[in-house]
Amino acid sequence: MKNLGQMLKQAQEFQGKMQEMQDQLAELEVTGSSGGGMCQVVLNGKGEAKKVSIDPALVSPDDAGVLEDLIVAAINDAKAKADERMRDEMQKLTGGLQLPPGMQLPF
């Protein structure tokens, strides 16, 4: 039974570290850009958009479609960066523990 108690203790420690990591990710900000930096989007670690910056040179009625495409591209770029940072942090937390395919943390 010592092993079971030790496993429970480790599980509690892991849960605490997971919560700490999630709190840190909520404060993380990543910037995605498109159009050579003319459009930038800032997302937090949860993938929520926090800020959009658009170069004034892009604002023209004729360029509305281009501007919309650039915003989507910048959001996707920032989201990919946030996901990569989250994977890196999870790998640090799990000590390189390989999870089964398709299984992701946090659950």
Low-confidence ranges of the chain (pLDDT < 50): 107
The whole-number pLDDT of residue 96 equals: 64
Q: Is 98 exposed, middle or buried (0-12, 13-18, 19+ CB in 10 A)?
A: exposed
CATH topology of domain 28-92: Ybab; Chain: A; (3.30.1310)
pLDDT at 9: 82
Instruction: State residue 107's pLDDT score.
Output: 46
Do residues 45 and 24 lie in contact, with contact meaning Cβ atoms separated by under 8 Å? yes
Residues forming a β-bridge with 42: 31, 51
pLDDT at 36: 92
C-alpha count within 13 angstroms, C-beta hemisphere, residue 59: 4
How much is the pLDDT for 67? 82
d(Cα 29, Cα 63) in Å, to the nearest integer?
28
Query: What does pTM read for this prediction?
Result: 0.55
